[in-house]
A and B are shown apart, each in its own frame.
Chain A
Amino acid sequence: MLQQAFNGLVGGAFYALLALGLAVIFGMLGVVNLSHGAFYMLGAFGAFIALDSFGLNFWLSLVLVPPLLGLAGVVLERLFVRRLTPLDPLYNFLFTFGLALILQDLVKRQYGVNSQQYPRPSQLDGTVDLGLFTYPAYQVFVLGVSALTCLAVWLVLTRSRVGMIVRAATERPELTRALGIDVGRWVTPVFGFGIALAAFAGVLAAPMRAVNPLMGSDLIITVFAVVVIGGLGSVFGSVAAGFAVGLVSALGNLYIPSLSQTLVFILMAAVLLWRPAGLFGREEAFR
């Protein structure tokens, strides 16, 4: 039971990291990034390729792959996303959908649909005694790192000048601009940062999940449900809902296994009935 809850939290860590990236991108640009899952997949493949072709170990991948993909995100924003942001947000939604299809099938063409194996880093191969039960060290590491990352992003957003600008630009872009802050300057870095977060989650996932071209596409839709539950446009809500949904679906899996995949969507339906703006969303955010 406790162990299952812990499993849920580890699963929730991935939801939280992905939902966090989605939320900051959405907040800053008003773009719902459908290719977020594809970048998560690319993060995992990036780690795989780095090991396979260049012999770079997990730790180097964890440091190198996210910034590289973040850079790709920056280029993407500069070249394409930027042209569509002034239009209806649906166009960027569709653009990133097309992009996800391309990325997914490019990887599929190169590596096939079968899962690749990625070894755990040797330092984290064993188990940790957590008092009540022993648990694989790598999973403990994933949970810790993601919680720390979410906390760090939260601190940057609430305590630093950059975070203040980003939050202001998220909530009242016109007013922020009127106060003399160049909002446009922060759009591209924030987009790249969101992508880098997805890639970071992907590298973290490589040693414990099946690395295949479709690993991101199913996950990202679940993360959409998480974002809707947490509150549209709420950074805190996305992270909290990420961990909570992971926990609830793991416990649900324990008692009603047949619902394991659908439970999150049932939760979403319940939240929509009760609070259409999500648990932590503001009413005005959606209408």
Chain B
Amino acid sequence: MILSRLARSGGRSGPLLLAIGLVAALALPWMIYPPVALDIACWALFAAAVDLLLGFTGLLSFGHAAFWGGSAYCTGLIALHSGLPFPVAIVGGAAFAALLAVPIGYLSVRLTGIYFAMVTLAFAQMVYFIANQWRDVTGGENGLQGIPRELFGVDLSEPFYFYYAGLPFVLAGLFAAWRIVRSPFGRVLVSIRDNPARTRALGYPVDRYKLLAFVLSAGLSGLAGGLFAIGHGFASLEGVYWTTSGQAVMMVILGGIGTLWGGTIGAALVVQLQDYLATAGFQETGIVTGLIFIVIVLLFRRGIWGTARHLLDVRGRAASSGDTAPEPKEAVDTPA
């Protein structure tokens, strides 16, 4: 359903939107402070990876910090100790995240809904505790510092240039997410989200599909986390902390669950807001992010992209009726 609609609207406005998005991505470091631009790009990819699970498989992972932060450590270690160029380190970090996702996913996909969220959260906390205790490798509270940022002898420490060195990774990751969603595999995921029992009855090994989606999503999160680590020159405990998972989920909901690109908008807004608060000297960002969380959950569950699409839909339905709006997570039960 959601896919047919995507395809339909994609035929009309897709190339235009894609062009706008690309221009915006290329122009970003001219418009805002370049390190913030890189943060936005990394978080956008992270949000898309989370949405791959939440919006298209119906699984809310509250533990993706393990993959983002785990890859940040792995990327940092490769870059620090091997002297390999940073793209290799990032790919290594992403591979590590995907590998880490195999056991965690294997155990977690046995549960659904809220239990899945709890269990992924718990496993991510385990990764956090390990990172905290394994000081020799991760640096404990200090984190990994001084991660080099160079490519074949070219010094990329200038954030403006590094943004363009990192952007291809984000674009490749977003493209991969988009391909996954539109592939036959992605269609099975959507059917698992909408009706797992029927999908199983049709002969699809549901748990295996979920596991593969989980691993792919973790790999993309790792790509984003690794790039983030190289971009900042450090990997810290904050990356594996549960608030990081929550922030990614918030970006997805703010942008719109199941929209894939919505997360980019959510990432842009949240990162800029936090940058603004930080420069204003406001330390307790949790008050603001928590409030945003509460407001969108209570009043704005479709998110920005989702609302825009819904409005377009309502207008479009006057011409061609039928095809209800996709609200996979709404109105399930009668009030208690």
Contacts and interface: CB of A to CB of B under 8 A. Distances in A.
A97 B152 CA distance: 44
B114 to A, nearest CB: 4
Contact of A265 (B122, B133, B290, B331): B122
B336 A86 contact: yes
Contacts of A109: 283-284, 287
A184 B336 contact: yes
B110 A272 contact: yes
A173 B286 CA distance: 36
Contact of B297 (A86, A98, A224, A228): A98
B246 interface: yes
B335 interface: yes
B240 to A, nearest CB: 12
Contact of B133 (A184, A261, A286): A261
Interface string B94-124: 0000000001000110111111011101110
Contacts of A51: none
B119 A228 contact: yes
B117 A93 contact: yes
Nearest to B112: A287
Contacts of B62: 93, 97
The interface size bin for chain A is 35 or more
* Chain A interface main SS type: helix
B130 interface: yes
A163 interface: no
B243 interface: yes
A105 B285 contact: yes
Interface in B213-252: 242-243, 246, 249-250
Contact of A89 (B113, B129, B242, B293): B113
Interface stretch (A4-12, A77-85, A134-142, A196-204): A77-85
B122 A224 contact: yes
Contacts of B286: 101-102, 104-105, 108
11 contacts: A87-B332, A88-B332, A89-B113, A93-B60, A95-B294, A98-B289, A98-B291, A101-B246, A222-B125, A228-B115, A269-B103
Given A261-B133, A265-B126, 10 more contacts: A86-B332, A86-B336, A88-B113, A94-B253, A97-B62, A101-B243, A109-B284, A221-B125, A265-B122, A266-B126
Interface of A: 29-30, 32, 80, 83-91, 93-95, 97-102, 104-106, 108-109, 173, 183-184, 187, 217-218, 221-222, 224-225, 227-228, 232, 258, 261-262, 265-266, 268-269, 272-273, 276, 286-287
